[in-house]
Amino acid sequence: MFFGGSEIVLMMLIILLLIITAGIYIVAPVSAQYDAYNHILKDHVLEREKSKRVKRVEKLAAFYWPLLIALYLGWSLWTMDWGTTWIVWPVGGVLFAALIGLMELLDKKSS
């Protein structure tokens, strides 16, 4: 790019694609094998407990994120201050993590 030749940029793009292809060629089979072993050796008791937790989080997420989107759009369209209302997203993400932690804490106390 610094030497002004578009041929160099094209060659570097080709090399970048070759490096990415080689990486995927190496990582994909190993990752598939690792996932297969994990799937075969999975402990079904832990899987059931985890799936119950995941289902509860999915139910919370199905309610929480559309509500957050509605609040963001309502606030942003009402005030037309799009430069300030973006703060809803980082605060909403941290609040979601805190709600999941609270759900886990309440679940541990009840069991």
Give the residue numbers spanning the domain of 16. 1-41
Better pLDDT: 3 or 90: 90
Q: How many domains does the chain fold into?
A: 2
23 and 50 share a domain? no
111 and 82 share a domain? yes
Mean pLDDT, the chain, as a whole number? 85
Structure confidence at residue 15 (pLDDT): 95
63 and 37 share a domain? no
Q: Give yes or no for a contact between 104 and 53, defined as CB atoms under 8 angstroms apart.
A: yes
73 and 25 share a domain? no
The residue count of the chain comes to 111
59 and 107 share a domain? yes
- The tens digit of pLDDT for each residue in 56-105 reads 888 889 999 999 999 999 999 999 988 889 999 999 999 999 999 888 88
Q: Could you tell me the maximum CA-CA distance found in the chain, to the nearest angstrom? A: 68
23 and 54 share a domain? no
pTM score: 0.54
60 and 111 share a domain? yes
11 and 21 share a domain? yes
